[in-house]
């Protein structure tokens, strides 16, 4: 496995940070490559060395966060919902600017869909055996209900600028998931 040059990583991080900052100021469609290069303090050519265009940069950034969340799910697969949800909410807290741009604004509805798909995929693993209150319910319906509710609550949390601490969000979301799955 080849090692990635630290300068490349530093440049890519500067570009990702620049696009997030710019999205907090204006609509993504109005952001130009020149805006990104000015904010990241790199040439336009440098951007094209790493990404095809601004959409590729944004897609790469979204995919990076989705993959981290997927890994956190896998690592927390043996934990209760409340404990595993805390891992996610801590990540949301650390990357607040990204998630608030993606979930609290109209700027990237595509991310919401990808986030929802990730939750559906992960919750399907948790709802293998439906029993108790949920016996007789359609598993797909139940999983989609829980995933949609989770995304909705997380969106509410970002849109309202964290009205409760991320620990409270995790505990209550975890409790709701445990009750419903």
Q: What is the DSSP string of the chain?
A: -PPPPHHHHHHHHHHHHHHHHHHHHS-GGG--HHHHHHHHT--HHHHHHH-SSHHHHHHHHHHHHHHHHHHHHHHTTTS-HHHHHHHHHHHHHHTHHHHHHHHSSSS-HHHHHHHHHHHHHHHHHHTSS--GGGTTS-HHHHHHHHHHHHHHHHHHHHHTT-SS-HHHHHHHHHHHHHHH-
Domains of the chain: 1-51 (1.10.10.60), 65-180 (no CATH)
Average pLDDT (48-54) is 95
Tell me the per-residue pLDDT of 67-104, one tens digit each, with 9 for 90 and over.
999 999 888 878 888 899 999 999 999 999 999 989 87
Q: What is the pTM of this model?
A: 0.86
Tell me the per-residue pLDDT of 110-167, one tens digit each, with 9 for 90 and over.
899 999 999 999 888 776 556 677 778 888 898 999 999 999 999 999 999 999 999 9
Query: In this model, does residue 11 exceed pLDDT 80?
Result: yes
């Amino acid at each position: 496995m080849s090692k990635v040059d630290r300068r490349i990583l530093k440049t890519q991080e500067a570009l990702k940070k620049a696009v997030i900052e710019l999205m907090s100021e204006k609509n993504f469609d109005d952001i130009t490559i020149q805006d990104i290069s000015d904010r990241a303090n790199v040439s336009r050519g440098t951007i094209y060395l790493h990404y095809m265009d601004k959409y590729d940069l944004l897609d790469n950034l979204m995919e990076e966060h989705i993959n981290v969340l997927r890994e956190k799910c896998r690592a927390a697969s043996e934990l209760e919902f409340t404990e595993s949800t805390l891992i996610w909410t801590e990540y949301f807290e650390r990357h607040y600017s990204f998630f608030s741009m993606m979930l609290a604004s109209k700027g990237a509805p595509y991310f919401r869909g990808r986030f929802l798909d990730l939750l559906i995929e992960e919750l399907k693993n948790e709802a293998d055996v439906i029993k108790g209150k949920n016996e007789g319910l359609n598993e797909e319906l139940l999983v989609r209900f829980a995933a949609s509710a989770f995304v909705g609550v997380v969106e509410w949390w970002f849109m309202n600028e964290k009205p409760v601490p991320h620990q409270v969000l995790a505990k209550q979301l975890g409790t709701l998931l445990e009750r419903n799955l």
